[in-house]
Structure 1
Amino acid sequence: MARTRVRIPLLLALSATLVAVADCGSDDSPDAGEGKRKGGPRVVVTTTWEGAFAKAAGAEDIKVIVPQSVHHAPDYDPKPSDLAAVAKADFVLYAPFEPYAEKIKEAAGSKAELIEVALENEPGNVKAEVTRLAGKFGTQSDAAGWNRAFDTEYATLRAGLKSAWPGGRSPSAVSHAFSRWAADMAGITTVGTFGPEPVTPGQLSGLSGKKPALVLDNAHMSTGTVLPDSGAEEVDIVNYPGDELDLLTVYRDAAAALKKAMGTG
């Protein structure tokens, strides 16, 4: 996933507008969340990825700053309503490659607790982060229930992918560094990795020489066909959920794409 930046001068300019917006709105203003006030802490997240972690942890009142449709966060200009939401938040979730999160908080004058989230869809990391966030939110029982459901769903998807192996054998693949979790879920034999930096000519030759059956790219950082003329089937793996903030959908969609690439979807 690409390093992201937001235009900080714009945020600082909007902070003046925030004062009027925040003073005029009540705690139940639609700008403070997704509409009607929900239970639990107010959580503002930079993207739907952090939002999905927060929802899995048991948060209900979640405001996403960068829309899911924006693949490159630097292209997004925060609105006064975004900063108003931050000003009213209890927690602001961000990723370490999103250095603008602290500036968003400063521009909005928020007293919210900033929480850095490790955005990696490897199951162990997901469950650990969901459990950690629940400890912050006071929603431990919700997180425990989600983790159990995740284990069940993941096992089902993993079994289905194994049964889809061509000829009953694990296919070989080269994978983007941020798509490796999908290869692991499918039990695919990873013979090489690339990214997050662009593939160099030397890497291209080396990866093509491994003759992979599949290439697992990162949909959010794709620069086109990774191994042209190699004959490998390319699969774009999406790390972000949609606006519904359902992280399990990311795993289901990846499984469906991999099954199709293996000729059984």
Structure 2
Amino acid sequence: MARFRSLIAGLSWTTGLAVAAGVLLGGCSSTDDEHDHHDGQHRPKVVATTAWEAAFAKAAGIEDVKVIVPASVHHAPDYDPKPSDLTAVAEADFVLYASFEPFAGKIKEAAGSKAKLIEVNLDNSADKVTAQVKSLGTEFGTSDHADPWVTAFAAEYDKLGKDIRAAWPGSKQPTVVAQVFSTWAAQLAGADIVGTYGPEAVTPGQLAGLAAKKPDFVFDNAHMSTGAVLPDSGAKQVSIVNYPGQDLDLLTVYRDAATTLKKAMSGS
């Protein structure tokens, strides 16, 4: 987190990076003609801070998205951008980032890019995903791709939800305590969300209150897990993955979650 704080305070990922930016930009002059703007035939150049934002861009119609933070880095704000990242940003039309990743603006500043910064709402709730993909499709000029994706997503979401509900223990709606970034999985499962926790540390009083709800399951966030949340409550803890894989397929996140949830609810 120390590196993250230094980024917020100023462009302090070393003087060497700033020098690299000068070298990169000194050797080329980018013009609008050199950018692959969307004109009905071409897609704009998009850079995303993480695979999660990139998956939204792909859903909206951008097949080739440059991802800055490697998948091996589990906490994006701790990542130190490289000169190659500046090159990508300098040539981009759009840079996608999340509110907790303010270093995106610093990268753009260092690269001297004219790219438009777009803050992506990283929430896998169905309504939020639909709104975000449609919005990006409008921004990119790719609604011809985004709108059909949203239609396909709605159909897949309904199918997966029915599959999970068919696996409810005893055919009864389960009760769930969910980490705030995992509530979407509870919604997908049709579960009754009786409490939430995070992203800040949970106090003993909060834990006692959540345990008193006597949930059937705890849906933890695989990317921010702090271990067993309610170890003595009898609730079964399930780890929920928010980020897509290297294929940047957002639908796979839902399919994988459905598989995990059906397995947990069937007791297998």
State whether TM-score is above 0.5.
yes
Alpha carbons 2:77, 2:103 under 8 Å: kept: no
Alpha carbons 1:177, 1:193 under 8 Å: kept: yes
Q: How many residues align?
A: 253
Percent of aligned pairs sharing the same letter: 60
Task: Write out aligned runs for 1:11-26 (5 A).
Answer: 13-21=16-24
Matched residue, 2:38:
none
Structure 2 residue 225 is matched with structure 1 residue 222: yes
The one-letter amino acid paired with 1:189 is: D
State the distance in 2 between where 1:106 and 1:176 align: 34
Q: 1:129 aligns with which of 122, 129, 132?
A: 132
Matched residue, 2:237:
234
State the distance in 1 between where 2:72 and 2:262 align: 25
Structure 2 residue 207 is matched with structure 1 residue 201: no
Task: Write out aligned runs for 1:108-187 (5 A).
Answer: 108-187=111-190
Task: List gaps (5 residues or longer) in structure 2.
Answer: 36-40
The secondary structure found in structure 2 opposite 1:10 is: coil
Shift in Å, 1:25: 8.1
State the distance in 2 between where 1:26 and 1:68 align: 31
State the distance in 2 between where 1:112 and 1:259 align: 42
Alpha carbons 1:164, 1:264 under 8 Å: kept: no
- The 1:259/1:12 distance shift into structure 2, 3 A limit, reads farther
Matched residue, 1:104:
107
- The 1:262/1:6 distance shift into structure 2, 3 A limit, reads farther
Shift in Å, 1:108: 0.8
Shift in Å, 1:41: 0.7
Matched residue, 1:90:
93
The secondary structure found in structure 1 opposite 2:12 is: helix
Alpha carbons 1:65, 1:82 under 8 Å: kept: yes
Alpha carbons 1:94, 1:116 under 8 Å: kept: yes
For each residue in 1:200-234, what CA deviation from the matched residue of structure 2 results, as whole angstroms up to 9, or x when unmatched?
10011111122111000111111111111222111
Alpha carbons 1:218, 1:237 under 8 Å: kept: yes
State the distance in 2 between where 1:25 and 1:168 align: 63
For each residue in 1:120-177, what CA deviation from the matched residue of structure 2 results, as whole angstroms up to 9, or x when unmatched?
1111111111111111111111001111110111011001011010111111111111
Q: Give the stretch that moved more between structures: 199-208 or 8-17.
A: 8-17
Structure-2-length-normalised TM-score: 0.88
Alpha carbons 2:60, 2:136 under 8 Å: kept: yes
State the distance in 1 between where 2:254 and 2:231 align: 27
